[in-house]
Structure 1
């Protein structure tokens, strides 16, 4: 069984027996997704898409969690409108690439999966999280809206009414509740994520993956156009939200570690 390992600055990639294991690797920042990681993820996924030896992709996080979301400090440092839209276009391309891959894709979640990190996980076909995982679409706390296709992915899994509740409340959901909501497909005993991933991967390897992927492609004909529209809507809406007083207050409160006082402006 041949094992091939590739290392990026913010990612680790291992290929073994028709399976690629892609690990987010900024553990010091709880795998917060900075611009470099977003670009490396897109590059890596495009390369994997061309690899006909790979039938399954597993995405997981190094360290204490899957991903805390976008790197807030770096996102705040983005310059003007042009730079903002450039990185948002990269995020949108990343999500579309992952969502549309002609592979079976699996997200293995432990610890925190929040914001853009949760959107990334939800772009996969099958989600496994540990019982004590903390899943949150928590943009509301800093006066922003979900991006990375968060609106699309939540409505696909929960329905619009429940998706709005999760977004507006900024609720933190543990593994068992996420399973009950159908936000994830499987909840593993804490500390047993690897075993659960391995079990699911082995099940897939014993099936005709070509047929599974073909079903995925048929559904993509229906769903991808909707995702494309939502990604564009999120991009422009997020720019508008960044100009609001509520967003500025949310960020200030985040920095000062206090509860924000929003005014609806």
Structure 2
């Protein structure tokens, strides 16, 4: 789920779903609507994406993945998720991710689609990508967004291939996040970044962002039109992957 409210002319979108804020189809629907609202409402300066409780987000809802009975079902869901991710990535106004807690898998991908990532200063918070350990690849949009956010083939390699969950200070050192702040300053800091970037004459930020992200956005669109990657999603029908997904889901309940 995704709850939204306006604070200081900034749309605050909060992931709310159980203990881990897993991303469902309904979450994607509401995120798409939130991005559209930010784009079309001139009074809104930008978007702050955050979570509730101890998690920003654990990623996609694993029960959804285990519910795929055919390759076509997997393709439809992931394609839609990629389209929403592309909308977020190309939102013309500032998007700041306020990572209030653990951020993994699809949660980290949403963070990487943002323009700036702020995380709560807490020794127990972990950040990372575990897909390689459970047998699930990234889609074209997910891969491109992660690569753009990490801004380095080497950092992409290290994050994706090792599948480590790291603490916030290590995440800052590896440039996965931009700033660490106390919990009570998280949203305030995120809103300040939005205002700093957008509150200038004629809002040149919007054009600068468009130029910065245009090439990656075009690449994602082209890859989504190419169905050659669909076969990779047959992983969801493999017993070893489904067993791993079920085990991981059981640890989160």
TM-score, with normalisation over the residues of structure 2? 0.86
The C-alpha deviation readout for 1:130-181, integer Å capped at 9, x for no partner, is 2333211111221112347332233222411221221121111222211211
- Is 1:114 the counterpart of 2:98 in the alignment? no
Partner residue of 1:210?
203
Give the alignment partner of residue 152 of structure 1, picking from 118, 132, 144: 144
Runs of 4+ in 1 over 4 A off after TM superposition: 229-235
Give the alignment partner of residue 142 of structure 1, picking from 131, 134, 143: 134
Give the alignment partner of residue 241 of structure 2, picking from 236, 247, 258: 247
Give the alignment partner of residue 92 of structure 1, picking from 44, 63, 82: 82
Which deviates more, 50-59 or 40-49?
40-49
Q: Mark the CA change 1:234 to 1:45 in structure 2 (over 3 Å): closer, same or farther.
A: farther
Unmatched 5+ stretches in structure 1: 1-9, 258-265
Alpha carbons 2:140, 2:223 under 8 Å: kept? no
**1:27-176 alignment, distance < 5 Å:** 28-132=18-122, 133-147=125-139, 149-156=141-148, 157-176=150-169
Task: Name the SS of the counterpart of 2:28 in structure 1.
Answer: helix
Unmatched 5+ stretches in structure 2: none
Structure 2 CA distance, aligned partners of 1:142 and 1:48?
35
Partner residue of 1:263?
none
Q: Mark the CA change 1:175 to 1:183 in structure 2 (over 3 Å): closer, same or farther.
A: same
Task: Name the SS of the counterpart of 2:57 in structure 1.
Answer: coil
Alpha carbons 2:113, 2:146 under 8 Å: kept? no
Structure 2 CA distance, aligned partners of 1:230 and 1:141?
25
Task: Name the SS of the counterpart of 2:69 in structure 1.
Answer: coil
Task: Name the SS of the counterpart of 2:6 in structure 1.
Answer: strand
Structure 1 CA distance, aligned partners of 2:110 and 2:36?
15
Which deviates more, 61-70 or 193-202?
193-202
TM-score, with normalisation over the residues of structure 1? 0.82
Which deviates more, 63-72 or 203-212?
203-212
> What is the CA RMSD across the aligned residues, in angstroms?
2.5
Structure 1 CA distance, aligned partners of 2:91 and 2:196?
19
Structure 2 CA distance, aligned partners of 1:193 and 1:89?
32
Count of equivalent residues: 247
Q: Mark the CA change 1:23 to 1:64 in structure 2 (over 3 Å): closer, same or farther.
A: same
Which deviates more, 243-252 or 181-190?
243-252
Structure 2 CA distance, aligned partners of 1:87 and 1:169?
26
Structure 2 CA distance, aligned partners of 1:235 and 1:191?
43
Which deviates more, 28-37 or 87-96?
28-37
